[in-house]
Amino acid sequence: MKKNSLIICFLFLSLFANIASVTAAPAAEDFNLFLKKFTNSAAFQYSRIKFPLKTDIVLSLGEGEGEKSFPFTKNEWPLLDDETFVEERNVVEGEGVYVSKFTVKNPTHVEFEAGYEESELDLRVCFDLVNGKWFLTDCLTGWYNFSVLASELRKTVIEVHAENKEFIEQHP
């Protein structure tokens, strides 16, 4: 009887220890440190993006012709530098007020937006904390806005690759 009680006690302790280890959350990565690495290393940036992104690239087929969606994959990704995430408000002569800022900053979700006031966004970037690490999970970028025709996607991707090459040379 003593032996059975000891075995049952041991089983409960093992079960309780397993539950505690499953429910213990990993330490969350600091967002600001993550963003510094993200914008200063192409390799790190690529490793912390969940491709394909949640939102597709949507391009026009032409005036009154409709639109076409493309998955936003690593091939289309324009690398983002630290200047991208500067919060500022600038009056641009003849254009309006350009605002760039973090619009959501929660412990598990961060969003950054940039664009002219009273106009469509030029940039919206979403980051999510996944298993204690930050990942970019969605992006809307001016590279692929509705003024770009679907037939011009390949040309635009070539331009993005040229910009990325410069970034990679400076920030491998």
DSSP for the chain, please give it.
-HHHHHHHHHHHHHHHHHHHHHHPPPPPPPHHHHHHHHTT-HHHHHHTB-SSPSSPEEEEEETTTEEEEE---GGGPPP--GGGG--EEEEETTTEEEEEEEEEE-SSEEEEEEEETTS-EEEEEEEEEETTEEEEEEEEEGGG-TTSBGGGHHHHHHHHHHHHHHHHHH--
User: Domains in the chain, ordered, with CATH?
Assistant: 29-170 (3.10.450.410)
Give the confidence band of 146 by pLDDT, cuts at 50, 70, 90. confident
| Predicted local distance difference test score (pLDDT) of residue 14 | 55
Lowest mean pLDDT, pick from 18-32, 97-111, 153-167: 18-32
pTM over 0.85: no
Q: What is the mean pLDDT of residues 67-91?
A: 97
Give the confidence band of 15 by pLDDT, cuts at 50, 70, 90. very low
118 vs 88, more confident:
88
